[in-house]
Structure 1
Amino acid sequence: MASGCLGTPWGPEPRSAGTALPPVPLTGALRSLGGFEIDTARLGAGGLSGIHLDDSLLATMIDDRARWAQARILLRDGRAAALEPIASGPLGDGAGQALPPGHAGDAEALAHLPDGTWLVGFERWHRIRAYRRLDGPGAYVAPPPGLDRAPFNAALESLTVLADGRLFAIAEGLAPEGAPELRRAWFGGPGGWVALAWRPAPGMVPVDAAGLPDGGALVLERAFSWLGGFTGRLARVPAGAIVAARPGAVLEGAEILRLDGTVVPAENYEGVAVARHDGRLVVALVADDNHSLFQRSLMLLFEMADQPVA
């Protein structure tokens, strides 16, 4: 579909915060389950920049104006049917007071620890906060070393928990010294970060990551030009590459989805999440509409094969 449109919407359900969109034909590792054009007012957050998905298909999202929202994804006959809003609110500072949008509130990355803690990565003021509850106070967490050197608006966009319990973080715009084509990445966690690098596709930058149950990961990348608009891709990193990675290693992934408007619509995708639901792997992507009337806030859903497709 050269127009980059998912097709004719089914129409909104009464309790849905999104208009359901039908699946598109795909070959390879992913099968489309459709998606939603999100009503950000009903959801309670816009400019979506990070997402987590649990095995019940509860989606937790953050936006770049320091808000969070939760909604339940409902499937019907294996297709996206409704996005039921549950709760939303502002992200708080250390005292639980609402963070202001802008310099202090540009939330860009979201991870969920096994103990239930939420980690939120911010840029502009580069830092990580930990929330026992998203509607509570956020304590500072030691960020990866060198993150303070990241460009003003291109810091920690990717943050996820791997199957082995380590965090995997990638900076959008921070390149290792002498390697402008790479982006600085880290494994580990506070007090034990190990530096390595990520190799994005030419012209693209990493904007989110999601750990896979087999120990691998997905990395979402994006590009923008004034002439071509937004394009992107989803890359899969095999578990073996992550296990074998040592300090200073360069990780890269194999492309499993192109986001350029030929089949899947081109938008400003900034969030990816993975969950195992009813025996299958479900992948969710969310797009940041930049609070613009000329962009769409989308959530796309896919089923992914457990094993990489050659």
Structure 2
Amino acid sequence: MRRQQTAILEWLLLAALLLAGAWVLWIQLRPPRGLGPQIAAHAVAITATPLPGTGTRISGARLAGALALASDDPGFGGLSGLAALPDGRLLAVSDAGQWLLMRPVVQGGALVGVTDAEMGGLPAPPGGEKYDMDSEAVQVSPDGRTWVSFEQQHRILIYDGVPPRRPVAARWHTPAMRWAPNGGGEALALLPDGALLWLPEHAQAGVHRGVFTDAAGQTSSITVAGLPGFAITDAVALDGARVLLLHRRFTGVETAAALSLIDVAALPSGSATARPLLRWDRNSAWPIDNMEGAALVREAGRPVLYVVSDDNFSRAQRTLLLRLELPAGMKN
């Protein structure tokens, strides 16, 4: 009888693992959600629910507020990229080819809400189709243009203004043709000198094979050794010497996120190695979900990182916005 019970439990566990694996595969490999005609810019009401953990530290970084964001707007969700604007607002892009602007509300150094939210559709280039608009990363250059990285057809579209009004240029790079359709340019960083780093989500043979364009406009293939077992989901220049990488592990059974650093000086040589900075998971004091976007601001010289999660338009997940005060030793 005991052997029979053990066998039944083993089969139930196997079935649960198979169901979890199938769900993750569907979430990761399904085609991007289509929205039909381009969505016009409009105000959106967002409910921000504070989450526990504020004030706790991991590896010297402090959680300065965490929110669960929700909206009745049918286009809200799927946030995959995040950028900070000079006026204090955050710009996000989604898997459904939409942009979202919002202003964090900070009181006493802690994130307590968001306001002034509006959203709209990313304009497709002439001849482009909506299913090609799976946006995964966003940056805003000093000249006010919006740079957006897309999966499926891996390319970078450069838009005039914020919010993105019309595409004025596009960048295609040969190395990106080898990226998986749903595992491409998740991470896009613009460096202070005008250089560009573009990295895919998934590693091949232990390294992420990306693209680096230096300040002179010379583009080359590079490899970045990431964190074992993690995907790279965003990148942001910490300063002229270092790039901060956001990583996530999302299997349906395990959910974790991590931050690491790579040295800009190593990129022209063709290879760099990520140095782990911190990690959190479901057992940590910080909230966790499918963390995909990161944006950096500086307050009194100290770096503060906003991190957003992608809920995959699933009721089983949440859209989280975290505010992290990075260690004081990471100042310029």
The 1-side partners of 2:154 and 2:138 are apart by 14
State whether structure 2 residue 155 is matched by structure 1 residue 127.
Answer: yes
1:31-50 CA-to-partner distances (Å, cap 9, x unmatched) read 11112111144696310000
Alpha-carbon offset, residue 163 of structure 1 = 2.6
1:8-64 CA-to-partner distances (Å, cap 9, x unmatched) read xxxxxxx75422334151143311111211114469631000000135431100000
Q: Are 1:162 and 1:216, in contact at CA under 8 Å, matched by a contact in 2?
A: no
Q: What TM-score do the two structures reach when normalised by structure 2?
A: 0.78
Q: Who is 1:185 aligned against?
A: 210
State whether structure 2 residue 307 is matched by structure 1 residue 285.
Answer: yes
Q: 1:99 to 1:50 in 2, by over 3 A?
A: farther
- The equivalences for 1:102-251 within 5 A come to 103-133=131-161, 134-173=163-202, 175=204, 180-188=205-213, 192-213=218-239, 215-226=241-252, 228-237=253-262, 241-251=263-273
The 1-side partners of 2:272 and 2:300 are apart by 35
Q: Are 2:176 and 2:210, in contact at CA under 8 Å, matched by a contact in 1?
A: no
Equivalent residue letter for 1:83 = V
Q: Are 1:232 and 1:258, in contact at CA under 8 Å, matched by a contact in 2?
A: yes
SS of equivalent to 2:269: coil
Root-mean-square deviation over aligned CA pairs: 2.5
Q: Who is 2:67 aligned against?
A: 36
SS of equivalent to 1:295: coil
How many residue pairs get aligned? The number is 284
Q: What TM-score do the two structures reach when normalised by structure 1?
A: 0.83
The 2-side partners of 1:17 and 1:124 are apart by 31
| More off after superposition, 276-285 vs 254-263 | 254-263
The 2-side partners of 1:69 and 1:27 are apart by 29
Alpha-carbon offset, residue 82 of structure 1 = 1.6
Alpha-carbon offset, residue 140 of structure 1 = 4.3
Q: Are 1:40 and 1:297, in contact at CA under 8 Å, matched by a contact in 2?
A: no
Give the counterpart of 2:289 among 263, 267, 270.
267
Equivalent residue letter for 1:18 = A
Q: Are 1:45 and 1:68, in contact at CA under 8 Å, matched by a contact in 2?
A: no
Q: Who is 1:48 aligned against?
A: 79
Q: Who is 1:78 aligned against?
A: 109
Equivalent residue letter for 1:59 = L
State whether structure 2 residue 257 is matched by structure 1 residue 257.
Answer: no
1:47-103 CA-to-partner distances (Å, cap 9, x unmatched) read 0000001354311000000000100011111111220033210000125x9962xx3
The 1-side partners of 2:109 and 2:247 are apart by 27
SS of equivalent to 1:246: helix
Alpha-carbon offset, residue 123 of structure 1 = 0.5
Larger Rg: 2
Q: Who is 2:322 aligned against?
A: 300
Q: Which runs of 5+ in 1 are unaligned?
A: 1-14
Q: Are 1:17 and 1:84, in contact at CA under 8 Å, matched by a contact in 2?
A: no
State whether structure 2 residue 89 is matched by structure 1 residue 58.
Answer: yes
Q: 1:71 to 1:131 in 2, by over 3 A?
A: same
Equivalent residue letter for 1:104 = D
SS of equivalent to 2:268: coil
| More off after superposition, 124-133 vs 242-251 | 242-251
Alpha-carbon offset, residue 116 of structure 1 = 0.9
Q: Are 1:150 and 1:174, in contact at CA under 8 Å, matched by a contact in 2?
A: no
The 2-side partners of 1:302 and 1:53 are apart by 14
Q: Are 1:93 and 1:139, in contact at CA under 8 Å, matched by a contact in 2?
A: no
Alpha-carbon offset, residue 225 of structure 1 = 2.2
Q: Are 1:51 and 1:110, in contact at CA under 8 Å, matched by a contact in 2?
A: yes
The 2-side partners of 1:64 and 1:145 are apart by 23
SS of equivalent to 1:307: helix
Alpha-carbon offset, residue 258 of structure 1 = 2.4
State whether structure 2 residue 49 is matched by structure 1 residue 19.
Answer: yes
Q: 1:191 to 1:245 in 2, by over 3 A?
A: closer
Q: Are 2:50 and 2:65, in contact at CA under 8 Å, matched by a contact in 1?
A: yes
Q: Are 1:157 and 1:208, in contact at CA under 8 Å, matched by a contact in 2?
A: yes
The 1-side partners of 2:259 and 2:282 are apart by 11
